Structure 1
Amino acid sequence: MADWISWTSDLTLNVPKIDEQHRELIRQFNDLGEAVWDGKGREAIGDILRFLADYTVKHFRDREPLMDTLSYPNSDAHMKVHAALIEEVSEFIRKVEVGSVESQLVISVVDRLGQWTRQHIRLEDKALGQYVLSKE
């Protein structure tokens, strides 16, 4: 099956650590989509969701000190957006853990999170990447 979310050149920030983390996030989204497509059970889907959530938190935590160190002017707003996504993903994981979740719901969440991630990278993260590169 083709990737659910494709890596495209407009997602590249030219900040290697951030780009690699973004690529890993997209790989995980694709693993989740594949698990749903293959009809894997709630446990397998839950495992991928938890990994994706944990990795997202790690990714955000890695970036926040960078924003502080470089005195990134939009860091407060950027971190609020991160916190909102973490809460949304956490809520979805809770739903998966307490009951059966239909594949269509998982697909819609994967699509929503994929759209959010691509949009966030193209706008907020691109601005951050340009700021980082300007400070080097």
Structure 2
Amino acid sequence: MSAELIQPIAWRPDFTTGVGIIDDQHRVLIKMLNEASTRLTDQSSLEELAKIVQGLINYADYHFKTEERFIVEQGYERLRPVDAEAHLAQHRDFVSKVLAVREQIHQGQRVPKDVLVSFLSEWLTHHILHTDKALGAFLLDQKQRAAQ
């Protein structure tokens, strides 16, 4: 895939989970990913690549902690254990893969921009549209039940 063919992710209405803080954090992640895609080239220094990857790791960790706090506090683990475990497993898998990329960079191995950006874009889009939307629906339902 040519680097020129990588399109930025635009926020779409179907990304909305209905949970303000989660949607706001998703917007930040999308913005960071788009900025990384714009700044990176296959000739970017390993230091620049490492800096961008570390920034994405840090913000993803912050975001995952937010979602995981909701999962525990709102009873998702208890009421939907299979969905909750799948959600947490996706977080762990993402972190594992991105840490492997970071290690590869630290060892001096270049990660092609198109490979990195495509992986991050596809993972984030799929996670939002499926896993996070399910969590959002659950959280909104819990909020509605509590208001009754």
Task: Give the TM-score normalised by structure 1.
Answer: 0.90
Letter aligned with residue 125 of structure 2? R
Give the counterpart of 1:14 among 18, 30, 35: 18
CA distance in 1, matches of 2:110, 2:42: 15
Q: Which residue of 2 aligns with 1:120?
A: 127
Whole-angstrom CA distance in 2 between matches of 1:85 and 1:38: 23
Q: CA shift at 1:43, angstroms? A: 1.2
**2:89 matched to 1:80?**
yes
Q: Does 1:51 align with 2:55?
A: yes
Equivalent residue for 2:99, pick from 90, 107, 113: 90
**Conserved 8 A contact 1:15-1:129:** yes
Whether the aligned pair in 2 keeps the contact of 1:35 and 1:44 (CA below 8 Å) is: no
Q: CA deviation at 1:3?
A: 5.6
After TM superposition, give the deviation of residue 90 of structure 1 in Å. 0.5
CA distance in 1, matches of 2:103, 2:42: 22
Task: Show structure 1 runs of 4+ deviating over 4 A.
Answer: none
Corresponding residue for 2:139? Answer: 132
Percent identity, aligned pairs only? 28
Distance 2:103 2:41 in 1: 21
Q: Deviations over 1:108-133 (max 9, x none)?
A: 12111111110110001001101111
Query: What are the equivalent positions in structure 2 for 1:31-42 lying under 5 Å apart?
Result: 31-37=35-41, 39-42=43-46
RMSD over aligned Cα atoms = 1.9
- Number of aligned pairs? 134
Where structure 1 has 5 or more consecutive residues not aligned to the other structure, the ranges are none
Is 1:64–2:68 an aligned residue pair? yes
Conserved? CA contact 2:74–2:142, under 8 Å = yes
Query: Per the alignment, do residues 38 and 101 of structure 1 end up closer, same or farther by CA in structure 2, a change over 3 Å counting?
Result: closer
Mapped to 1, the partners of 2:90 and 2:109 lie a distance apart of 29
Find 1:111's aligned residue among 118, 125, 128. Answer: 118
TM-score normalized by the length of structure 2? 0.83
Unpaired segments ≥5 residues, structure 2: 144-148
